[in-house]
Amino acid sequence: MSIFGRRFIIRLSKMSFVKIMAATPAPRWMVLLADLAIVALSCILTFTLNNHIQGDGPLYSLFFKSIIIVLVYLLFSVVFKSFQYIVRLSVIEDIYRIVLLVISSFIFLTIFALAFEIFGGQRYYSIWNLFIIGVFSFSLMMCMRLVVKYLYALINGATVVRKPVIVLGSAINSFVLASALKNEVDGQFDPVALLSLADKKIDTTVNGIPIVKFTPNSISEIFERYKCNTLLFLSTQIELMRSDFADVFLKNNIKLIMLNQVEEFDAESGLMPNLSTHVRDIKIEDLLGRETIKNNNPLIEQLIREQVVLITGAAGSIGSEIVRQVALFNAKEVILVDQAETPMHELQLELEEHFPDMKVKLFIGDITNYSRMDNIFKQHRPRYVFHAAAYKHVPMMENNPSEAIYTNVFGTKNIADLSVKYDVDKFVMISTDKAVNPTNVMGASKRIAEIYVQSLFFHQKKTRDGQCTRFITTRFGNVLGSNGSVIPRFRQQIEEGGPVTVTHRDIIRYFMTIPEACQLVLEAGCMGRGGEIYIFDMGKPIKIYDLASRMISLAGLIPNKDIQIIETGLRPGEKLYEELLNDKELTLATTHQKIMIAKVRTYEYNEIQSHLINLELMLKCDNLHDIVAEMKCIVPEYISQNSKWQDIDAELKIEK
């Protein structure tokens, strides 16, 4: 284009009415009228040319013939919705529908012409003329769309400075995304290439966008060639990125961004969203997540519908998600218990906004306060209890074992005993993988809680006639993004410029998303008959050092160059490898492929009761040494690591 032409386009683009027209797609009726005008013009050109050569009849006759043709094209335009697509985003689907329109109209008019000739005794249309009209119509419709796209791209491109990106994939969805971003008003991104994952070699361009073949060794060269450092992909491609595939780009310092909602640029919606607002940076949670769990929702709803459900620790990461999921199953009433005032207030506001019709009662209270909990149970008589209240931070509990026992053991005992007293049907306890072969106070306290509720169930079975409260335990590992977990901590350290601290280079952990964990809790609670300890398929363990490296790379920085990763040493009670099962435990399959039953050692109720009486006496004396020693007697596999309580292991060994 000449300098004069480009200046004209720039001046034109600055006019407010042009910006308005560019930002808003033309009404569908306007596109339809333009297409019908093209059909009418095609008729005029064809009949005029034919009349000049052969003399095809008077003008009024040609007028009526043209009207019939336009009406037929109108009919098939409505049938195939050829006018529904946003012109500036028109691509293969648009061409396909115009082809269907023209061919169907031609066939219909040909049949009409032949029928008229057979039954009317004269020829009304020349089939050749109908063919020429179809060719003219198709050509002019496509030209109209191409001109609109070209002018729009010129106006838009003259006013916006965009970030170059390479779009992953060469399939239709990736191509439509690239075309939409290229033609977007005030867009932020300029798709400079499509990165093909196909095996065959590709050397072509689509809509002016080159397609390049992906090979791991050529990534750096490809992105340098196009002066780009960003890969954009669709949310539907996240499963591919969750494999080691993402690391290929991260190791080459390529930034990853994702379009969150593919349906946002569905042309049939008739809307023109700003796609750039739906593009976001990839978070580590995206790469660590797994495919959506398919729950037996009808069975869960049957369990919870029109029932009173009580949830302890309701304001915590797990508890609040259980609240949200229970809210979807039409419970009669949901009773929420937590001692954290501000988080409970925030949860209340969220529930009022998203579940205004749900009957909710919120109670600020400590589960160690038996009389307070007793009043709540007496007043509301819950049928199902989800017990998520607990202290969970390993180093904190290592220094405060009495509080771990008060809350994790005796708090659980209070809720369990009250569940029996008020004839709760099911009690589902949230436990942890740290209860397996515990090396710290927190894990041991959760194991004691497991032992108590399991022994209480079997004690009921022996001593009570009829139905008894069914106690079910669920174990899982770390959840992504929970309060105080490693990922928010790493994110904060990266934002502050580092360093990122890991306790040990070889430490590994299992991770699960909060919704996934809570869905499995509900499923296990639904299938449990009492006395089971359920464990969840946590997937592959993740090296925390690698997790830190990936998070730094996702932030567009280079690990140990832009931000250092420093080892600080294992914390008190921390171990390198978490386990979901004791070595002596076995598992049984269930109807859900991600849920298994752990076959664990069971305890006699009277035995665990005597231990708890001892613990209670020690708590009154605040004798921390004896408290931990008693915990080790209850849970013989509890061996302290990197902790001040290791001396007790040596003492107990000598006594034995």
Q: Which residues are identified as catalytic?
A: 434
Distance from C-alpha of 331 to C-alpha of 412, rounded to nearest angstrom: 24
Are the CB atoms for 231 and 256 separated by under 8 Å?
yes
What is the SS3 assignment for 360? strand
Token pair in block for residue 551? 């998070």
Residue 441 is inside which H or E element, if any?
helix 441-463
Kindly provide the residue ranges of all beta strands, DSSP E only, lying in 420-476, ordered along the sequence. Answer: 426-430, 470-475
Distance from C-alpha of 567 to C-alpha of 65, rounded to nearest angstrom: 84
CA dihedral sign, ordered 537, 530, 577, 321: positive
Kindly provide the residue ranges of all beta strands, DSSP E only, lying in 365-462, ordered along the sequence. Answer: 384-387, 426-430
Are the CB atoms for 63 and 51 separated by under 8 Å?
no
| Angle at 296 (CA atoms; ends 293, 301), nearest 5 degrees | 120
Are the CB atoms for 386 and 425 separated by under 8 Å?
no
- According to DSSP, residue 563 is labeled B
Residue 307: φ, ψ to 5°: -115, 160
CA 221 to chain centre: 32
Angle between helix 412-421 and 441-463 (nearest 10): 20
Strand partners, 483: none
CA-based R_g, the chain, Å: 34
Distance from C-alpha of 285 to C-alpha of 551, rounded to nearest angstrom: 10
Distance from C-alpha of 248 to C-alpha of 239, rounded to nearest angstrom: 15
CA dihedral sign, ordered 51, 54, 57, 58: positive
The residue behind tokens 């699960």 is 512
Give the sheet arrangement for strand 360-364, strand by strand: 360-364, 333-338, 308-312, 384-387, 426-430, 470-475, 533-536, 595-599, 586-589
Distance from C-alpha of 450 to C-alpha of 404, rounded to nearest angstrom: 14
Q: How far apart are the first and last CA of the chain?
A: 93
Distance from C-alpha of 387 to C-alpha of 319, rounded to nearest angstrom: 8
Residues 6 or more apart in contact with residue 460 via CB below 8 angstroms: 420, 468, 469
- Other CB atoms within a 10 A radius of the CB of residue 588 amount to 9
For 243, counting Cβ atoms within 10 Å of its Cβ (0-12 exposed, 13-18 middle, 19+ buried), the class is exposed
Kindly provide the residue ranges of all beta strands, DSSP E only, lying in 197-248, ordered along the sequence. Answer: 204-206, 209-213, 230-234
Helices (H) and strands (E) in the chain, counts: 25, 22
Are the CB atoms for 71 and 93 separated by under 8 Å?
no
Q: Is 96 left (phi over 0), alpha (psi -120 to 50) or beta?
A: alpha
What is the SS3 assignment for 354? helix
